[in-house]
Amino acid sequence: MLTSYQITLGDSYIMAVEDSYVQAKRLQHFFDENKINTIVYSKAIDAYAAALEKIPVLIISDIMMPGMDGYEFCSKIKAHPVLKEVPVILLTSLRDPLDIIKGLQAGADNFITKPYDEMYLLSRIHYLLANREMRKSGSAEMMIEIMFRGNMYAINSEKKQILDLLLSVYEAAIQRNDELISTQAKLEASNENLIAANEELEAFSFTVSHDLRNPLNVISGYSQILQLDYSNQLDAEAIEFLERIQKATVSMATLIDDLLQFSRSGRAEIISKPIDLSQLARSIMEDLENNNLQSKPRVFIQEGLNINADPSLIHVVLENLLSNALKYSGKIPNPEITFGLLKRENEHIFFVKDNGAGFDMAKAAKLFNPFQRLHASHEFQGIGVGLATVRRIIERHGGRVWAESEPGQGATFYFSLPFLP
């Protein structure tokens, strides 16, 4: 492997201590690739005994290990009169400043942060080996006591050793910061691409939905003409076919309306105004009941529910939730629907409750995704866009939406809205 660092050890070797099998294999591969003599140990106690038998020129040790950890291992190396001059590199995540204090206290010469860049590790090895004589010329041991988080720590490392360690920490921090800046730039670019893709998808959805209306109206219109003007010339089977066509066109029209509503919910500008939700809910329920003569539920709407939000978008929210409650409670003898408010300090939490079919909470995560349905179409009609539209509108208002239910025990849908002036 071609590198900027040529390390020749002769009969000497570098010792590595790593209890993770995967990380140990990675280190071994790294050393083999760079033609560096090394012995990798999985336990610090075994490595310490081996170091007494044959002194390594440098030790690389993980910190988090069972039994003797990296700090204790480093301390034992630095406390031994024969091994104390061996440079020690500790592998750490450096998530806590205490790592640095413990490393200094143990006498470590360098930190390498995980995950590490192999060229950087090679440069640290080269630096410590190239400066062994310079390190020996440092000042005599001097005890330094420092206070950190209410505890006293004694450090007796040489000044050069302390400076090297702190510089390695600073260099690692700079490297990590550069990586974060690069990652942030990539995320911003991805976010811009996602926004553009969403806008294109919204435009596509709107265009397709809008353009589908004309041919659908033609199909519906001509099938109605056949039913009205030519029914006496058609047999029973042909009349049934026309009825199926009409039913399909109504279903398709509903799908188009839902798609348009979903598309607009992400594009419409939010203009907040005072809304009497109690009155709005009553008006919506009256319209729904007039269009659904099969089900006449008992409806309970809490009085005095007021909010500042976008009236047209909140109308869509309530219409979807109340129509769902009406639909899924329509097959029981005594359907009931309740709309009310749960008081919270920092937000309004409204709920729509029914005593209908309910659903399994294990599948609740799918509820608010587009085109996801928990009931078969032959049981309850729908395409699964309404709740996705509700979530989009509520989240655009800075709120959240969720549900609670049990099969056969009805369902309660909650949505929160923040307090707005």
pLDDT at 94 exceeding the cut of 80: no
**pLDDT given for residue 282 in this prediction:** 92
Most confident of 238-242, 299-303, 331-335: 299-303
**pLDDT given for residue 48 in this prediction:** 93
In angstroms, rounded to a whole number, what is the distance separating the alpha carbons of residues 63 and 50? 18
Query: What sections of 142-158 are H helices per DSSP?
Result: none
User: Percent of the chain beyond pLDDT 90?
Assistant: 14
pLDDT at 7 exceeding the cut of 70: no
pLDDT digit string, tens, across residues 361-412: 777 677 777 655 554 444 445 455 778 888 888 888 888 888 888 888 888 8
Distances (CA, A) of 369 to 205, 320, 364: 16, 14, 10
In angstroms, rounded to a whole number, what is the distance separating the alpha carbons of residues 220 and 226? 10
What's the whole-number mean pLDDT along residues 166-177?
A: 66
- Decide if 108 contacts 88 (C-beta within 8 A): yes
Closest CA to 370 of 394, 353, 349, 387: 387
Name residue, tokens 């550069």.
178
* Cβ-proximal residues to 119 (8 Å cutoff; 6+ apart), any chain: 3, 4
**pLDDT given for residue 332 in this prediction:** 79
pLDDT-derived band at 179 (thresholds 50, 70, 90) equals: confident
pLDDT digit string, tens, across residues 276-303: 999 999 998 888 888 765 668 888 999 9
Distances (CA, A) of 158 to 69, 165, 257, 380: 23, 11, 76, 78
pLDDT-derived band at 45 (thresholds 50, 70, 90) equals: very high
**pLDDT given for residue 208 in this prediction:** 65
**pLDDT given for residue 1 in this prediction:** 39
Tell me, yes or no, if the two domains 14-157 and 269-418 fold the same way: no
In angstroms, rounded to a whole number, what is the distance separating the alpha carbons of residues 147 and 155? 11
Mean pLDDT across the chain, nearest whole number? Answer: 78
In angstroms, rounded to a whole number, what is the distance separating the alpha carbons of residues 50 and 47? 5
**pLDDT given for residue 250 in this prediction:** 76
pLDDT-derived band at 132 (thresholds 50, 70, 90) equals: low
Topology of 14-157 in CATH?
A: Rossmann fold (3.40.50)
**pLDDT given for residue 134 in this prediction:** 55
**pLDDT given for residue 340 in this prediction:** 92
Distances (CA, A) of 97 to 72, 161, 162, 166, 304: 18, 18, 15, 11, 54
- Decide if 374 contacts 366 (C-beta within 8 A): yes
In angstroms, rounded to a whole number, what is the distance separating the alpha carbons of residues 217 and 275? 35
CA atoms within a 13 Å half-sphere pointing along the CA-CB vector of 159: 5
In angstroms, rounded to a whole number, what is the distance separating the alpha carbons of residues 41 and 340? 66
pLDDT-derived band at 50 (thresholds 50, 70, 90) equals: very high
- Decide if 391 contacts 369 (C-beta within 8 A): no
Across the strands, what pairs with 14? 38, 58
- Decide if 411 contacts 401 (C-beta within 8 A): no
What's the whole-number mean pLDDT along residues 48-76?
A: 91
Q: What does the angle CA 166 – CA 72 – CA 55 come to, to the nearest 5 degrees?
A: 85
Closest CA to 329 of 280, 362, 365, 285: 285
Q: Which residue has the higher pLDDT, 45 or 212?
A: 45
pLDDT at 146 exceeding the cut of 60: no
**pLDDT given for residue 204 in this prediction:** 67
pLDDT at 145 exceeding the cut of 70: no
In angstroms, rounded to a whole number, what is the distance separating the alpha carbons of residues 254 and 369? 18
* Cβ-proximal residues to 78 (8 Å cutoff; 6+ apart), any chain: 84, 88, 106, 107
pLDDT at 6 exceeding the cut of 60: no
**pLDDT given for residue 159 in this prediction:** 57
Q: Which residue has the higher pLDDT, 16 or 172?
A: 16
* Cβ-proximal residues to 172 (8 Å cutoff; 6+ apart), any chain: 94, 111, 112, 113
Question: For residue 342, what is the DSSP state?
Answer: E
- Decide if 386 contacts 334 (C-beta within 8 A): no
Torsion angle of C-alpha atoms 373, 377, 379, 385, degrees rounded to 10: 40
CATH number belonging to domain 269-418: 3.30.565.10
pLDDT at 357 exceeding the cut of 60: yes
Most confident of 85-94, 114-123, 317-326: 317-326
The region of weakest confidence among 66-80, 93-107, 242-256, 263-277 is 93-107
pLDDT at 154 exceeding the cut of 60: no
Q: Where are the domains of the chain?
A: 14-157, 269-418
| Positive or negative: CA dihedral 224, 226, 230, 233 | negative
In angstroms, rounded to a whole number, what is the distance separating the alpha carbons of residues 401 and 414? 6
In angstroms, rounded to a whole number, what is the distance separating the alpha carbons of residues 236 and 257? 32
**pLDDT given for residue 68 in this prediction:** 92
pLDDT at 190 exceeding the cut of 60: yes
Phi, psi dihedrals of residue 404, rounded to the nearest 5°: -135, 140
| 3-state SS, residue 377 | coil
